[in-house]
Structure 1
Amino acid sequence: MTAGVTDLTETQRLVELERYNLPGTLEDRKSTYYEDLDNLVTLAAQVCGVPFSVINVITADEQHQIAAQGIDPDVCSREDSMCAQVFRHGRTVIVEDCRDDPRFRNNPFVTGEIADVRFYASTPLITRDGHSLGTLCVFDQIPGTLTEQQRRSLEILADQIMDILDLQLRTRQLSRALAELGRSNQLLGEFAGRVSHDLQGPLTSIRGFAEMVQSDLQDDPDSRQYLDRIVGSAARMASMIDDLLDFARAGGILRVQPVSLARVTAAVQEDLSSALTGSNAQVYVDDFVAEADPSQLHVMLQNLLQNSLNYRHPEREPRIRITASGEFEHWLLEFADNGVGIAPQDRQRALEPLVRLEGSAVEGTGLGLATCSRIAQAHGGRLELDETEGGGLTVRVWFGSEPSSDPGHLP
């Protein structure tokens, strides 16, 4: 379990709550992170064999239930909160019957004024710096207790909750950095590398926990369902980290050399072979040799090809044509598909980082086209979006030069 709470002032603890954006807003609670918290709090109730569990955040004067199982999340005064009495002790508290405990017997959650809690157990949510933000709490309306294994599982789940909150914090920090640093590629790359390391740690912890608990829940399909969701969320987070790193590294130091468009495309197709096969997509590519950074060209083509698969037209199989023209150092790449396309009024916004167009049913970070645009700029060119004849999206990328007023020809 996380180390015990250090001797910090309440003011410092409240500053930490603000840094973690807790208790958050109703809009925040629509995010994937809060869905993961819901899954973990449900698993806590099942592991401990009780009908009720909550994640409580303790502010200066209130208790906020940001996720709950068996009840609707609510807010009460800190004075009425049971967890507010013990959450800074730095250890798990187990009370078999609250009516026999002098700390809780007159509490409105025990007397029936608010609820009728008899069995109660909670473990604190502690940051790496020793700040206690609240608790993971389980309870029942009849007396009970926890086995040693259940107590340990509750503490592990509390650590997983903090991992998710850390992921949320680091993601916000990274998003702000992307907006603030803009074209400062070197600084952005260094920062993204540090923060991505912070993101990978909690992901490893989440996956490790899921694998550990799965072996103990072979005969519990309901619990395994929530674990599967947690594993799926971790995979989505890992994909997000990869997208953020691609965006941050795009436009860094170029290592230009002669590259074969057909060869790079073949490597991308191998990376996406499962998705291509499953969609019956066909890819046509020119064998064109020009000057570019092969790694960044690979990232660009992979993003474009993945976008074409994600946004394919529901009534036709994907057809993608990749062509090139121009000279060795100044050339034009055209990537055309027959998918749903992008409306003219949305094309400029689609190139901005972390923008997902309204009405999109595809999960993603909104960084694919923005990453491609940064790669084009790093090569001294730019990227433009147009409509494919007959429907779809055409992406034109100039390498080594700015486009002329005629988008179909190099200057």
Structure 2
Amino acid sequence: MISAPVPENEIQRLAALRRYQILDTLEEEEYDNLVKIAAEICNTPISLISLVDEDRQWFKAKVGMDAPQTSREVAVCAHNILLPEEPLVVPNMLEDDRFYDSPLVTDGIEMKFYAGVPLIAEGGEAIGSLCVIDRQPRELTNGQLEALKALSRQVMVLLNSRLKNFQLEEQQRKMEMAFTNLNEFANIISHDLRAPLRIIDQYIEVIEEDFPALIKGDLSSHLTTIKDSAHNARNMVQGVLQYCRSINVLQDPQDPFRVNEMLRQLIEEEIDSDKFTVLYPEEEIWLVTSKLALRQIFQNLIANAVRYHDKDKGHLEVTYKFEDGSHLFGVRDDGPGIPDNYQKSIFKLFQTAGNSGDKRDSHGIGLTIVKKLVNALGGEVWLESVVGEGSTFYFTLQQHELADLVSE
């Protein structure tokens, strides 16, 4: 018996095998069905999905064999992985110098025929094989060999799907940890910043109440500047908290919902009908996405339009159309518009339009949150504006199939 040499890429090959986290797992019907089909098509009593580990071959699925594994030293599949691009067919193992005196040939299952197709990982490493075995010398037809190749590819479809699921779970775990850490950090920072701001406010109140006669001229102006600065700093701290927490809304369930109903409720809550007329789409719009995230996007855009409006009576319109496989929404107002030199920076943190006058409660966070949420949902956001005429904020959302959805 001649044991198979170790492949030159053994370290990479074993690493690829470990990534699938498949060794020593329980039986699974999807894999068991493939070896049953292979045995049936090739008319053999034995079929295996063999994964070649460092010192053993372990069987993920098997037909006609009780042992869960064998040593790598006697494994025929260890030879099969040496040439990943080619199947290994041994018509008569008694006539092959590598195998004629193997205990698997002379004893045990008394294998006399072997045909195996390597299982190739995404990086090109052969991690094992799908094989069929007979106790009599024989051949496979071209059709049987092609079927065995197709089944080996299906094994890898299952394994790669398993790997991607692990990667998604790990990504989700890291995201949840990042959300937690970010919230904790934001809360700590906001507490540490709010404390000195409260002290500043308290000292100013003491000065104004206890020493009113001293507050004249420049001193009065300086105190006003300090109060305004403290107020702005509190707004910025609050804005940072809102920004850090905004991504949490993406974790809510993504179930089908009517956008029209959500807009109606939002407009009733946010808009003073005496000061604004509002139009929104009449046709029924169903979406499968984060409802909380979409609500916050609309809420921030509508709030911006209301906050910066410069007329006694305003007009606001929400538009919609399905275009190029995406949902396209727009929020249009007839406010002051945004100058060209601010349009590129308007979505950056702590940036405002520069034409808002004394908007002390504005911290330049709302549009940053809009961009963050839209991008997280796989869309894009942009602005079209004319000074003196108004602005339109557009954003897209990816299309999702509404499977089994019955409109009421």
Say yes or no: TM over 0.5: no
Compute the TM-score of the two structures, normalised by the length of structure 1: 0.44
Compute the TM-score of the two structures, normalised by the length of structure 2: 0.44
